Structure 1
């Protein structure tokens, strides 16, 4: 069974159906790798008993011939998804000890499809961050290493990206509010797709910014992303923003043929001071798409330059509202009170102790932009700019553009502790290429395309039309095949 934990979902599915391997064996290979991978701090709550129970059930389904594509596939779950009876802390001390008595819709669908839960994965506190350094568990570590430094796997789904890249699991769930699937996928050399807003249910996923959050798969290949997204997606009556649309067969759409398709290149994304390696990678990506028969078209997204400030008004405002529920009354952490303290002191002490510095910063910023006298100046103005950003994309697609190609990140993975210490804005700039999609509700996929001069992975992202993830994944499949990225991190942990 050596190496089975490094298989793709597609390869494992085929081996399971042929009887070459059992789900229990595959699960044991991952559990062994997880125990050996503690140095990465990717898995923060392990569930070996649950995993083996689900693996035995998957083997029974496989033997009976009742085997969906995800049956017997061991996966990790970002600590944002409620899994019944398993700690769900969203990377925060304020939810320490919380074990939900319910299951998120996404994990319900995955377990229903026969997937196996290996445990919960590290993340930035309440998904607020780009490096997993705001986690109450301490930072996750990127399995890629080129010098003495420990590198970030990105964020907020950093634990998910690190676990998949290090072969601790075959795939993982992630969430993307401003790039939190795509940025860590690019930093760790894996594939990650953020679906159209409403394609995947948000019910049972701890909220950060409700109009931006979207769950998606993080995998080793585009085909795997297509298989897993098919199991995660679908209408959910419990989520009022869930789209009542049929889920296509995403894997069947991977024809590898994009002849005649128009790929937009937004001129506003070619930023001043863009590293030469990122610009060269983008040019390479254009050549790959052109060689595959696509037409490269220069386009303009004039309001894209306002996306970052718009995002950092809207997301904290929604976080301020969503995180008001964590008050020490109903669940999670409650501060120890002094004699004479009342309910106000309990709220204040609980939230001061439970929330980390980055979460406190965003709650305060969000409360400020929603306050009387500033609501119109900041929040309402940001909502108007958001509408303009969305319209830019609509006009590009209306003009016949099939997909948009852009960098996924402004750099390769940086060292833990190197960004955002004195100036939080330095960290926020990691989202410069990714936040536009969340503001517009569009699907986007990050694909590893090459290595930088230091030997660290770099990725490109493709942006698709709303609800056309199948077409988007096919474009990504072409890019993946042309890039031929097969590099893996050398095991040091």
Structure 2
């Protein structure tokens, strides 16, 4: 591993801007790192070597011409394979889109390119973002760099693993029920779910449209803030995009201070099912916040106990609608079209061959929940619970500035351990789902290693909608204090691949 792959995104950008390293040199170092370790990790589905080097050369040419560079110009990034990328395959981890090359860029992709960010390639993910372990990818699982026998989280395990294995300093993920934060927690990295509508969903292949949200993944809070600022902002191509200024996330990340802040500890995020080491590290994080000058109070949000059930009615219902477009008639896989079958038969054969088991499970659940006679009992009731959860958040934020909890109930579990137990898999998102249902902002950052297994534990910080800057203010303070206590970033304790 070269020194260039160990740098933060902010440090890398500064070196490029000063001319200490060229963007091409940085890109080549990361491409070499991918070649050296990704056979073990399987973070990437596609490496765009030519595109990455061409983007890096443009940054070097801009600098040579004296043109101003953006704050992340020349910095490499791993892009979750759910964002369309012109001329580059986008599979969403599914066989049904194997080999599909989009003719346009997602808004997130376009903004990255305009900022001079160097996209190295597309990362592995649970098929259509349905999963908590990246085991549901049609192209095989991704491994956790801390322990190659364990999962890197999901659905964005490829992005988190790329960060933790130093294959990229930045990544993009999506969060429908925790798919940015949960992978961040189990790999010792930083992941942020922005306020719903804060980052455009245009060109992001839809799973559950009222829950899906793209966001930044990084190894430090400041790096996440810099990336957040690049990809966020109003987009007229997305009808759910918020037409308002982006919160001052970079300023907050540069000046982390929690003195005088009221922090709420969510009572419902503890108890049975939580690993002892996870709760130990979380308790230490709460004490650290007190030491830093925050006022800590316990908050009860009783409807949070119903969030998991509500989510697994709403998300499958929306997925059954969104995935109806994959009918073998317009794009993607096409099976059985030999002239002897009807269009309906071709569609059925294509979906049978192209969709994996978890996607089929959720489509069937959602179709049932939306069916005549069951809509009010299931989908309608889940939406009422969603309203109760939103109200619990509103009441909590009347008395505190942010909420905190463990990000996940356990550390990374072994690959295959929960493959045949969907309910056990779903419990990995127990703490993260409420923020998706309410649409507010949340972050996960490392708070230490669990004593039982030496694996990373994540601290979740939750802020009101459009108060994303609070995440970075608290996150930066906690990160600095922990790193001062440890004497180094947590990832320095990870085994070297």
Unpaired runs of 5+ in structure 2?
484-488
In structure 1, the residue matched to 2:290 is 290
Q: Secondary structure at the match of 1:340?
A: coil
Offset at residue 270 of structure 1 (A): 1.4
In structure 2, the residue matched to 1:91 is 93
Unpaired runs of 5+ in structure 1?
none
In structure 2, the residue matched to 1:445 is 443
Q: Secondary structure at the match of 2:29?
A: helix
Offset at residue 461 of structure 1 (A): 0.5
Q: What is the rounded CA distance, in whole Å, between the counterparts of 2:470 and 2:339 in structure 1? A: 62
Offset at residue 420 of structure 1 (A): 3.3
Q: What is the rounded CA distance, in whole Å, between the counterparts of 2:146 and 2:389 in structure 1? A: 35
Alignment of 1:57-136 (within 5 A): 57-63=58-64, 64-136=66-138
Encode CA deviations 1:374-401: one digit per residue, 9 max, x unaligned: 10000000000000000100111122x1
Offset at residue 339 of structure 1 (A): 5.8
Alignment of 1:476-487 (within 5 A): 476-484=475-483, 485-487=489-491
Residue 333 in structure 1 maps to residue 333 in structure 2: yes
In structure 2, the residue matched to 1:18 is 18
Greater CA drift, 47-56 or 60-69? 60-69
In structure 2, the residue matched to 1:53 is 54
Q: What is the rounded CA distance, in whole Å, between the counterparts of 1:164 and 1:274 in structure 2? A: 26
Greater CA drift, 339-348 or 369-378? 339-348
In structure 2, the residue matched to 1:260 is 260
* Aligned 8 A contact 1:369 1:378 in 2: yes
Encode CA deviations 1:172-231: one digit per residue, 9 max, x unaligned: 100000000000001111000000000000000000000000000110100000000000
Offset at residue 85 of structure 1 (A): 0.6
TM-score normalised according to structure 2 size: 0.96
Offset at residue 338 of structure 1 (A): 5.6
Alignment of 1:174-253 (within 5 A): 174-253=173-252
TM-score normalised according to structure 1 size: 0.97
Q: Secondary structure at the match of 1:460?
A: strand
Q: What is the rounded CA distance, in whole Å, between the counterparts of 2:35 and 2:310 in structure 1? A: 42
Q: What is the rounded CA distance, in whole Å, between the counterparts of 1:486 and 1:386 in structure 2? A: 36
* Aligned 8 A contact 2:448 2:490 in 1: no
Alignment of 1:156-175 (within 5 A): 156-175=155-174
Q: What is the rounded CA distance, in whole Å, between the counterparts of 1:89 and 1:3 in structure 2? A: 32
Q: After the TM superposition, which segments of 4 or more aligned residues of structure 1 sit over 6 Å from their partners? A: none
Q: What is the rounded CA distance, in whole Å, between the counterparts of 1:300 and 1:242 in structure 2? A: 31
Residue 43 in structure 1 maps to residue 81 in structure 2: no
Q: What is the rounded CA distance, in whole Å, between the counterparts of 2:419 and 2:234 in structure 1? A: 38
Q: Secondary structure at the match of 1:285?
A: helix
Q: What is the rounded CA distance, in whole Å, between the counterparts of 1:438 and 1:430 in structure 2? A: 14
* Aligned 8 A contact 2:256 2:472 in 1: no
In structure 1, the residue matched to 2:269 is 269
Q: What is the rounded CA distance, in whole Å, between the counterparts of 1:304 and 1:249 in structure 2? A: 29
